[in-house]
Amino acid sequence: MKIAIIGAGNVGGSVAYAIILREFATQIVLVDINEDLLYAKELELSQSIAALNLDIELICSTDYSHTKNSDIVLFSAGFARKDGQSREELLQLNTNIMLDCARKIKEFSADPLFIILTNPVDFLLNTLYESKIFSSKKIVAMAGVLDNARFKYELAKKLKAKISSVDTRLIGFHNDDMVLVKSYASVKNQKISELLSEEEFEDLENEVKTGGAKVIKHLKTSAYLAPASACVRMLESIRSGEFLPMSVILHGEFGVQNKALGTMARLGLEGVVEIMKLDLSNEEKDKIKKSLIKYQYIKE
């Protein structure tokens, strides 16, 4: 398995490290414009590989030709979200960077599985789809796994339960309009509607939605360890066949045509294999519909 990571910053470097720890790839190519950063990452990651006594080939370079014949490309370049800045404000800043990188990748890998990690993921995925650089089935974005992890973490903490006993699902946008699918959430196979009041669930929902902002406030930069872990979980689902929340281009689901939205999907090297059909509650349907109208995905 050959994986190219575009952007060697906090997220890109952490993803590379997580991939090494999980021994998911035999070749990792890390691309960035910052040569000093690349040199430092090459030392750190190569020494990590040596410490673990692994046979993983690592290349850190400014030259995209090293990405030739990549199976998977992870895009983590661009600007990180700052304290008080919305994900939407990042769109214009990161659009041009992403499209330039995608075109360079295309020169050396015809149609890899291309996963966006840079914010705002849903709207960058829309832009990439509209560019027609890659086929719609082969482009996805990682955020749902991260948001769902925050959902699971907050629920386990609130109910003092083991993480492994908590089952959660999440759909929608990677912003305040995300929808925590309460009707499918459970702890020890008991529905959370039986465990939490409406007010308690609303408090939980707020904690999940502000999960990223809280990291930014105290760390002074956006999260990177949890996003890296979520990305690797997404990569490993290619082998396991597990359904996970991710942003994909929809073709009729939720009444959405040719737009990106987070949903439960199954991923393969060939792209999106299957989208899970969810029997949502009326409240959840209403939340999704309102967010789709808000971003002009559908008409009111």
CA–CA separation, 34 vs 11, rounded Å? 15
Per-residue pLDDT tens over the stretch 139-164: 999 999 999 999 999 999 999 999 99
Question: How many alpha carbons lie under 13 Å from residue 149 in its C-beta half-sphere?
Answer: 18
Which run of H or E residues covers position 145? helix 144-159
Pairing assessment for the beta strands 27-31 and 2-6 based on DSSP bridges: parallel
Per-residue pLDDT tens over the stretch 99-124: 999 999 999 999 999 999 999 999 99
94 assigned binding-site residue: yes
What share of the chain in percent tops pLDDT 70? 100
233 assigned binding-site residue: no
Residue 87 has pLDDT above 70, yes or no: no
Strand-pairing partners, residue 248, are 140, 261
255 assigned binding-site residue: no
Name the token pair of 196. 């939490």
Q: Taking residues 236-242, what's their average pLDDT?
A: 97
Positions annotated as catalytic residues are 174
H helix count then E strand count, the chain? 9, 14
* Structure-token match 């990452």, residue found: 41
Question: Do the Cβ atoms of 77 and 116 come closer than 8 Å?
Answer: no
Pairing assessment for the beta strands 186-187 and 166-167 based on DSSP bridges: antiparallel
Angle (CA) 266 272 281, round 5°: 55
Q: pTM for the full model?
A: 0.96
Pairing assessment for the beta strands 170-171 and 179-180 based on DSSP bridges: antiparallel
Residues across the chain: 300
Strand-pairing partners, residue 251, are 257
239 assigned binding-site residue: no
143 assigned binding-site residue: no
10 assigned binding-site residue: yes
